[in-house]
Amino acid sequence: MTTIVAPGRDVDFKPSIGAQTWEMSKRAIIALARQPALIIPSIVFPLFFLALGSSSFARAIDLPGFPAVNSYLDFGVAGAIMQGVLFGSITGATALATDIENGFFDRLIASPVARPSIIVGRLAGAMAFGATQTVFFLIVLLPFGLDVDGGLIGALMLTVSGTLIALCVGALMSMMALRTGSSEAVQGAFPLLFILLFFSSAFFPRQTMSGIYKDLAGYNPVSYIIEGMRDLVIEGVSAWAVVRAVVIPAALAVLTVLLAMRSLNNRIARG
Amino acid sequence: MSIDSTTRSTAAGSESKPRSVAFTALWPASVGLGVRNVRNIRRLPSAFLPSLLMPIIQAVAFSGTFYAVTQIPGFPTDRSINWFLPLGVMMGCGFAGIGVGLTTVRDIESGFYDRLRMTPMPRLALITGPTLGALARAMVVITAVFLVGLLIGARLTDGVIGLLTLYIAGLGVAALGTFWGLALAYRFRDMRGAAIMQLTFFLALFLTDAQTPLSVMEGWLHGVARVNPFTNILRLGRQGFLGDVTWADTWGGLVAIAAICAVTLWFAASSLNRLRD
Amino acid sequence: MLKGMPPSAPIVTDGLQRYFGSGDDLVKAVDGVDLEVKSGEVFGFLGPNGAGKSTTVRMLTTLLRPTGGSAAVAGYDIVDQPNQVRRNIGVALQDAAIDPLMTGAELLQLQAVLYGLPRSQHQAKASELLERVGLTAAADRRVGTYSGGMRRRLDLALSLIHEPSVLFLDEPTTGLDPLSRMNLWEEIRRLNNDGTTVLLTTQYLEEADQLAERIAIIDQGVIVREGEPEALKAGVGCPTLFVSVGPDEVDAATQVLGRFGDLRPSNEGTLGVGLLQGPGEVSNVVRRLDEAGVAVSNLELHEPSLDDVFAEATGYRLEGAEESPDGAATAPHEMSDE
């Protein structure tokens, strides 16, 4: 009988990457849900800004350069999603940096946990949060007159887009957390995200801008993703809209996740 | 805060030596504390730089991204930076004041504030001292935002007097931000207070004609912004960039600053008193 | 009662109370403390963490309002005349909380301003105090770079800038190395010789024994003993014998020891008994224990100390009162060698 027990235990302890990643994801998601003070700003602020804009810029949508839209709300919802996901990404990455600061990260490394699951878990948490934010924004704004021309499929595409952007930025911020190991440095990225968001077509069309600012917004990939999402809202589902809203963030996500993995390996190698 | 303390103190205790201590006046004590606040700018630039850079970034970003907003019929200027520069200034000045609240939360948590409270300075100096520091920081912020604004095309429309009203509005916002920040620091004594002071100030400043004039906006915000005293303060600070400086655009802002300062100062003073409870 | 007529003592409290919370959460941190610290003495205020020492000091230094009772410091009521109190007291705090971004010289300068010293005196006063606490070389360094001992010394200097007549020292040597502690004791004695009244809170019994002319022991918000250390020790009476036995033999040993006097609180694994007949009984105790089949692993006799006073007053021994962290059995005795 004893001879059976020993190999049986071996099997029990064989790390299953899937199960571990799931556990790590769960931990990341629960951690987010338990800290409402950290996630509420990234939900309230975009909605607040959008509410301000829908009043302040009600007459701006008639300006030359604006696409044909029913309301500033329809125009601005894409930017609000982007804003929420960008600023929400700081939370997860800060948690990762805190893990590194307080030594929990080292304990994970010392355990038989599969290395990638450490970061994949975090990113899965970020994606879940991004998807939740997007769906929440769409539902909350419906009674205020949000009209998604793309319909249910458009809304689904928007959610996929929000999820992928969350992955993309989450990986980028995780890379920063892994490189610096400092939660302060991660939070210090706020002005950078602010610039990334405002030097884009998140709030006004690029066509209405001028000079260097217009050029910068033109170089900013955030502009194209937002414009794709916006088209899903104001024009409906089209191949070109999906390419910008989904394919671009997916491609960027592949790149940033690879970079984040490399940072993870570098940190482990450094000890 | 009694005046006759020095004469009476020598009567206390049979061993009492003659005190070399004079009555601590409000002004020197305030300056002493203000100097500390300003000196820490240089000592801890990582805490000050963001509060200097963010209003600049905001002014530049808003005027760039909302560049076309001036084309809305009835918009009072054709330079978007003229519209958004004063908003950036108010933002920066408010946070210069709120920064004092953050420092005070840290001082309370570390215990340094106990040492300050044990000195015989007038209690009011605990408030006016850091306010002087915040005003000095605000001067730096206003000047920096204005100079960067000039570089990207801001123009004064009524000469130097318009700059003066911008400084007055900015310093007023810095003062009320300090009082508000201190009051919440005294009430909460931890970082919860810090989050609330930032959030409330942000809301107060943006529930105004921050982005477009009252005459241009539509819907719910109009009703809120019309009665929000911060709209008056913005008008005071903006007038030198939109046309002539007039008494009509000035007095409302001055009254708003005075009234909010009075209320927040009272709130701060009564909260300070409650630190002993 | 305290108001109106000039009290003769620098610190007088009358039924001083401080409660926190309310209802079921009501904590009586200080529950009716009566103290009188005489002019020119060093008064030791003893008690474990949470006994009410710091709360009492915070009230006396005007940081906290009492819930009930009254107190006067330097002749002034702590509630009605807080600024007069502040002008006459110096306080060195337990944590030596000092802005780490400022230099020692800047802090002294600020303190001088806040105490309203004439401008002409600032420089000389600051140099004198820095010299006195041995920080002249470090005057222009930021406090953040100071060691723990340097911070305490600076803290002391800060509390002396206005030549206070009453000095509060709240656990001034907690966490200091022995040498720094001795130096600080020296400084406190010097200040006292110059006529400064000192109220010293501490959880180190040795510190109180060394410095204080009179002590008060506070436990759970109430003063349980007050007087001169020698008198208090004499009050405990006979010497205490500490016997270390195995856990199985505690009952048997307790029975034997009970015949020689009253049992006294001691650390775990050790039994204490006050020998009614004096030190001569030790050999008898050993014989009786042997007869009862109790194996004694350690045996120590010591004359009454403040530790005994404390134990007798509170029913337990002060954690951290001793330097020796190892072996509870040997811990209680080191101090008796003084």
- Give residue-wise pLDDT tens across range B101-117: 988 998 998 889 999 99
The residue behind tokens 């060698």 is: C337
Distance (Å, whole) CA B48 – CA B174: 15
Please check the confidence at residue C5 and state whether its pLDDT lies above 70.
no
CB contact under 8 A, C65 and B277: yes
B116 chain-C contacts, CB cut-off 8 A: 114
Closest partner residue to B68 (CB to CB) among A55, A63, A200 is A63
* Residue among B73, B206, B218 whose CB faces A52 most closely: B206
Using the beta-carbon criterion (under 8 Å), do A203 and B66 form an inter-chain contact? yes
Residue C250 to residues C105, C244, C267, C295: CA-CA distances in angstroms? 59, 9, 13, 10
pLDDT tier at C15, thresholds 50, 70, 90: very high
Amino acid at B275: L
Contacts for A43-46 with beta carbons within 8 Å, 24 or more apart?
Answer: A43/A84, A43/A88, A43/A133, A43/A136, A43/A137, A45/A83, A45/A84, A45/A87, A46/A79, A46/A80, A46/A81, A46/A83, A46/A84, A46/A87, A46/A137
Residue C73 scores a pLDDT above 50: yes
Q: Looking at chain C, list the stretches that DSSP marks H as alpha helix, in order from N- to C-terminal side.
A: 53-60, 82-88, 104-114, 119-132, 148-160, 178-193, 205-211, 229-236, 250-258, 282-291, 306-314
Q: List CB contacts (< 8 A) between B217 and chain A.
A: 55-56, 58-59
Subunits with 3+ Cβ pairs within 8 Å of B are A, C
| Percentage of residues in chain A having pLDDT higher than 70 | 94
pLDDT given at position C252: 84
pLDDT in tens, B184-194: 999 999 888 88
In tens, the pLDDT along C25-36 reads: 888 999 999 999
**Is pLDDT of C334 > 80?**
no
Token pair belonging to C85: 């109190």
Q: Which residues pair with B237 in a beta bridge?
A: none
Average pLDDT score over chain A: 87
Predicted complex ipTM: 0.86
What's the confidence (pLDDT) of residue C332? 35
Instruction: Say whether residue B196 is in contact with chain A using an 8 A CB cutoff.
Output: no
Query: How far apart are alpha carbons A131 and B255 in whole angstroms?
Result: 47
The two three-digit tokens of residue A267, written as one number? 């940190």
pLDDT over 90 percentage in chain A: 57
Between residues C35 and B40, which one has the greater pLDDT?
Answer: C35
The number of C-alpha atoms within 13 Å of B153 and in the hemisphere containing its C-beta is: 16
Q: Which helix (H) or strand (E) is C197 found in, with range?
A: strand C197-202
Residue C108 has a pLDDT of 93
For residue B65, pLDDT over 90 is answered with yes
8-state DSSP, C170: E
Interface contact B226, partner A, CB < 8 A: no
Contact B12/C75, CB-based, under 8 Å? yes
Q: What mean pLDDT, rounded, does chain B reach? A: 89
Record: contact B2-C84, CB cut-off 8 A:
yes
**Is residue C293 over pLDDT 90?**
no
Question: Once rounded to an integer, what is the mean pLDDT over residues A257-270?
Answer: 89
Interface of A with B in 30-59 (CB under 8 A): 37, 41, 48, 51-59
Helices (H), chain B: 5-9, 26-43, 45-65, 80-110, 112-117, 125-151, 160-188, 191-206, 220-227, 229-242, 247-274
Q: Is the pLDDT of residue C84 over 70?
A: yes
Minimum-distance CB partner of B212 among A51, A57, A208: A57
The closest CB to that of A56, out of B64, B73, B211, belongs to: B211
Does position B208 have pLDDT exceeding 70, yes or no? Answer: yes
- Specify the pTM: 0.84
Residue of B nearest to C197 (CA): B15
- Residue contact B5–C10, C-beta within 8 A: no
Instruction: State the pLDDT at residue A118.
Output: 80
CB–CB contact C84 B119 (8 Å): no
Query: Residues of A with CB below 8 A from B234's CB?
Result: none
Chains near C, with 3+ CB pairs < 8 A?
A: B
Is C101 close to B6, i.e. CB distance below 8 A? no
Q: Of B72-86, B132-146, C201-215, which range is least confident?
A: C201-215
How does residue B21 score in pLDDT terms, banded at 50, 70 and 90?
very low
CA distance C317 to chain B (A): 30
Answer yes or no: is pLDDT of B92 > 70. yes
pLDDT digits (tens, 9 = 90+) for B214-254: 999 998 999 999 999 999 999 999 999 999 999 999 999 99
Cβ–Cβ below 8 Å for C39 and B14 = yes
Residue C331 predicted with pLDDT over 50 = no
Burial of C319 from C-beta contacts in 10 A (0-12 / 13-18 / 19+): exposed
Measured between beta carbons, the chain C residues lying within 8 angstroms of B107 are 99
What average pLDDT does this structure show over C115-137? 90
Strand order in the sheet with C240-245: C263-264, C270-274, C240-245, C296-302
In this complex, is the C-beta atom of A22 within 8 Å of any C-beta atom belonging to chain B? no
Q: What residue in A sits closest to B52 (Cα-Cα)?
A: A191
Looking at residue C95, its pLDDT comes to 67
Give pLDDT tens digits for B255-276.
Answer: 999 999 999 999 999 999 999 8
pLDDT band at A12 (very low <50, low <70, confident <90, very high): low
At C159, list the tokens.
Answer: 């509390």
Using CB atoms, pick whichever of A60, A191, A199 lies closest to residue B53.
A191
Please check the confidence at residue C83 and state whether its pLDDT lies above 60: yes
Mean pLDDT of C144-166: 90
List chain B residues with CB under 8 Å of A193. none
Compute the C-alpha angle C187/C94/C62, nearest 5°: 100
Ramachandran region, residue C91 (left: φ > 0; alpha: ψ -120 to 50; beta: rest): beta
CB contact under 8 A, B69 and A53: no
